[in-house]
Structures are given as structure tokens and as C-alpha cells.
Structure 1
Amino acid sequence: MANTIQLNYRAILNYFKNRSTNASAESFNAKIKAFRVQFRGVKILEYSSLD
């Protein structure tokens, strides 16, 4: 546990100083992951077929 704190002390202190987290980045990553899962297996359409 001490090693983890030593490696991440800046992020830990940043939370207490600014009340900022990486929640927005984690949310964005989750949205990208959900998008990729939703469209897995969808083939790319040719541009000419969209007209």
C-alpha cells in the first residue's frame, strides 16, 4: 500500500487540493468501449452505396 501511495501521491494530493478526479476521462473511455462493443461486426459501407 505504501508503494501505491508513493507512486500516486500527486494525484491523491490533487484530489484533496482541487477536488478533481479523472472521472470524466474514465467516463469518456467507457463510452468509447460501449461504442466499440455496440458496433462490433458491422461492415464498412462503400461511400457510393450511401447515395
Structure 2
Amino acid sequence: MTNKAGKGKKGTIVAIIAGTKADTVISFIETIPLKLSNQVTEIILDMAANMGLIAKKCFPNASGVTDRFHIQKITLKALQEIRIKYRWQGID
């Protein structure tokens, strides 16, 4: 967990949580005062379903955004598959 407003300086890293099990992450996040967790407005998530569950349960006022790395990975994979498909058809 990071604080984007910290811009890499002291206070940017809020927590490093081992694992991705929803119960483990939620139990840690619930130790953060409710007043602070309600101030979170945006969460950058990977595409795992459990991350969406964590976000909804722990940060109800925040909107979720899928992280750029995973979007790029899926997009490039799809483009590669299309490129290979058409290469074998003599179009490439």
C-alpha cells in the first residue's frame, strides 16, 4: 500500500502485506483507523478478483482502477496473437 501524494518520499509506503489472500489483507487494513480509510478516493488494483473484494470492503468510498502493467500485458498478448494469426495467412 502506498500513498500517491507522498511522491516517493517519507510516508509514501503505508504497508507491505505478505500474500494476496483477501482475509489476510482485509484484517490488516482494518487496523487502519476508519477515518483514514474513508479518505481513500482511488485504488490501483491488479486484475485478481480478491483485490476487488478487498477494495470494496475496506475502502467503500474509493473507485478502483486496474493497473497499467496488467492492461498493457493483456493488450500486447492479444496483439501478438492477431499478428501471428495473420502472419500465417500471408498478410504480414
Q: Which has the higher contact order (CA 8 A, sep 6+)?
A: 2
Structure that is richer in strand per residue: 2
The TM-score with structure 1 as length reference comes to 0.40
Larger radius of gyration: 1
